[in-house]
Amino acid sequence: MSKRKNAKALLLEYSDFAKIWQNKSMRLAMLGVLALPLVYSFIYLWAFFDPYENVKYLPVAVVNEDVGAHKSDRTVEAGKKIVDKLKDNSKVKWEFVNREQMEKGFKDGSYALALIIPKDFSEKALTVDSPEPLQSLIEYRSDPSQNYLTSRLGNSVVQTLKTDIGNQLTKEFLTEMFAELHKSTDRLQEAADGAQTLSDKIQEAKDGTDTIVAKTELIKNGAKEVASGNAKLVSTLQQTIKEVEEGLKKLDITEDNIKKIQSKVHEYNDLIQKKEDKIDNGERKDLFPVIKGLKEEFQLQGKASQNLDDLIKKHPDLANEPSVKSLQDTLHLLQERNTGSQNEANKLDKQLKELSSPSSYKEFAKSFQTLTTSFDAEIAKLEEKKRKIPEGLKKAQELADGSAKLADGVTQQKAGLEKLSKGLDKIINEGSDRLASELQDGVDKAKESLVADTEKESVMSDPVDVKENELHKVTNYATGFAPYFLSLSLWVGAMILFTIFDIFQFSSKISYRPVRLGMVSIVGMIQAVITSLALTQGLGIKVELPIWLYVFTMLMGVTFIAINQMLVTYLGNVGRFMAIVILMFQLASSGGTYPIELTPDFFQMIHPFLPMTYTVHGLRAILSSGNEAVVYHDALIVLGYFVGAVILTQIGGRYLGKKKAAKQESSMKPLAS
């Protein structure tokens, strides 16, 4: 019995299809319905297969007004460098124009995007290492009114360009900075070498100071000996000074006597010179004491010279004193002359005793005159030298005091030098060696840091690199949007099918039977297969799960037809309108274009309840990720929509079919009567 029913159902399905195919207009309509999903999805995805690949044809005006800038001994033209860089950049169609041409292009629609490099671009770029750096500015101009997506695409390109230009400027700055660092490192090396030389010289100074300290000890000891000798000398000088002072007193007395005798000598010399022939006995008697005094004075001078010689023998250091030596020489000269003068005095004494004749008198007068002249000269020299003796003794005293001070000074100097040596040692240990060592460490570290500076410039100018790891690569725009447009086109195909054909149009004798699904389901599956073939073989869209693509799209086709059939079964033309409304909601809430999270809350709320949500999700897994678990999950949900729609359609179809049959019977009764 069931086999008869199945055979009868298949016969009816074939009968319906045959009726459609026999009618030319119906046949063309059916072919159009079959091709509609193909046309809808294929044309759209073909036109926008990979629009980003064609961005290189998008015209962008570039206006370079930069006048350059000067720094040190070079000219910087950052704007020109950017233009040169853009000429090698094929991301978009760069057109290098002036401002007037750009303005004209925006007015006539030739340009929707432009880059303007201002005249102070280079000047501001050079302030990057100044205390108040200025940010370089590039003006990006767009006109979204011409095409909104153009401005969005242009903005993306400009942002990339901004990063590239920023990296380039940073790299150039770093190149200069590294060059300066190389120079600084060389100067730092010189400083380190100088510090090492300083350390060596300080060590030499310390060694020299140690030597000086050692020698100073010898000097100190020698100074002590000198001071000790000088102390003895001073003591002897003090004693000698007393003796000399006593001698001076005697010399003063002697000098008085000499002056008295000198006075007498002059008196008698005048007398003798006046006498022409003789001197009387009284006068001659007065001359004897004078001659005797002269003889005694000459003996006294000889004794003074002998006393000074004895003093110098006892104290040899006095021989180096100029005033003492001068006095000694004078006394020696006086002594030599006194010998002659004393001989003269003896001769005078003898002549005075024998004085009788005029000739003897004249000889006596001549001798006395000679003695008088010599005596006067020697007395003058003796007075001059005597005056210098106290000054010489004073200098000897100062010499003794100076020797004592020298010993004290040497002692202090030795202490200071020892302190200096310790300070130098501290400088060497804690200062210069450390300075030289740390400077050299700094040089080594600086040189180490500057190794491979070119690579470092690249890294520092672009310090962060993003490694893109695409779990499931989507090669082009068409592949990314195919799930969305496949779902859309199959829904539109189902919707148009029930717009053209009436589900009750082919009912005959059994008009209340369930709506036949077989024929329309075949239509849906054919639509799915044709569209899938066109996208994979015609457009070349790559598929991760090829078999699943056909199975899943055929399930989508029959499900969308079942849903549309249900709407038309229950609501008729209103159902057809509702199919359009549901399509709109699905387009907005399926997440086929923008992520669902970016849509308003209402669409996020209805997102889980609409079938296209799962068809888009499942097709993405089939085309790109290859995740069969997702495909299974989504296929079961779509299958649930299909079963639910079929059940509701059969229930509603039976009820509405009976109602329609009853209406037809009631309308035929008046005709029969």
| DSSP secondary structure of 319-352 | GG-HHHHHHHHHHHHHHHHHHHHHHHHHHHHHHH
Res. 251: pLDDT tops 70:
no
Res. 87: pLDDT tops 80:
yes
Is the domain of 288 the same as that of 405? Answer: yes
Query: What pLDDT score was predicted for residue 471?
Result: 76
Mean pLDDT of 363-391: 62
Mean pLDDT of 204-216: 59
Most confident of 195-209, 417-431, 499-513, 620-634: 620-634
Query: What pLDDT score was predicted for residue 511?
Result: 44
Q: Based on the structure, what is the number of domains in the chain?
A: 3
In-domain check, residue 638? yes
Query: What pLDDT score was predicted for residue 506?
Result: 43
Is the domain of 558 the same as that of 652? Answer: yes
Res. 671: pLDDT tops 60:
no
Is the domain of 249 the same as that of 338? Answer: yes
Is the domain of 253 the same as that of 376? Answer: yes
Is the domain of 260 the same as that of 340? Answer: yes
Q: What percent of the chain has pLDDT over 90?
A: 19
In-domain check, residue 639? yes
Between the alpha carbon of residue 192 and those of residues 107, 168, 180, 185, 199, the distances in Å are 67, 35, 18, 10, 10
Is the domain of 129 the same as that of 215? Answer: no
Tokens of 380: 């003058």
In-domain check, residue 188? no
Is the domain of 95 the same as that of 172? Answer: yes
Query: What pLDDT score was predicted for residue 336?
Result: 59
Query: What pLDDT score was predicted for residue 316?
Result: 63
In-domain check, residue 590? yes
Mean pLDDT of 265-294: 57
In-domain check, residue 185? no
In-domain check, residue 471? no
Q: Looking at per-residue confidence, does 239 or 505 come out higher? A: 239
Is the domain of 564 the same as that of 618? Answer: yes
Q: Looking at per-residue confidence, does 108 or 33 come out higher? A: 108
Query: What pLDDT score was predicted for residue 125?
Result: 72
Most confident of 372-386, 418-432, 465-479: 465-479
User: What secondary structure does DSSP assign to 8-43, as a single string?
Assistant: HHHHHHHHHHHHHHHSHHHHHHHHHHHHHHHHHHHH
- In this structure, the dihedral spanned by the alpha carbons of residues 531, 532, 538 and 543, taken in order and rounded to 10 degrees, is 160
In-domain check, residue 313? yes
Query: What pLDDT score was predicted for residue 581?
Result: 95
596, exposed or middle or buried, with CB in 10 Å at 0-12, 13-18, 19+? middle
Mean pLDDT of 428-450: 57
Q: Range with the lowest mean pLDDT among 28-42, 377-391, 632-646?
A: 377-391
Most confident of 226-230, 334-338, 515-519: 515-519
In-domain check, residue 470? no
Tokens of 139: 């003006």
Q: Looking at per-residue confidence, does 509 or 306 come out higher? A: 306
Is the domain of 171 the same as that of 208? Answer: no
**pLDDT tens for each residue of 339-375:** 555 566 566 556 555 554 455 555 656 666 666 666 6
Is the domain of 81 the same as that of 39? Answer: no
CB-CB neighbours of 177 under 10 Å: 16
Mean pLDDT of 306-310: 61
Find the CATH number of the domain harbouring 83.
3.40.1710.10
Mean pLDDT of 141-168: 76
Query: What pLDDT score was predicted for residue 231?
Result: 56
Query: What pLDDT score was predicted for residue 601?
Result: 93
Rounded Cα gap, residues 622 and 629, in angstroms:
10
Backbone angles phi, psi at 163, to 5 degrees: -65, -45
Query: What pLDDT score was predicted for residue 507?
Result: 46
**Mean of the per-residue pLDDT values for the chain?**
71
Query: What pLDDT score was predicted for residue 222?
Result: 57
Q: Which domain holds residue 507?
A: 25-50+476-667
- Give the residue from 179, 214, 247 where a domain finishes: 179
**pLDDT tens for each residue of 174-188:** 666 666 666 666 665
Query: What pLDDT score was predicted for residue 361?
Result: 52
Is the domain of 172 the same as that of 43? Answer: no
Q: Which residues pair with 63 in a beta bridge?
A: 116
Q: Range with the lowest mean pLDDT among 168-182, 253-267, 649-663?
A: 253-267
Contacts of 438 (CB under 8 A, 6+ apart): none
Most confident of 97-106, 184-193, 204-213, 374-383: 97-106
Is the domain of 414 the same as that of 558? Answer: no
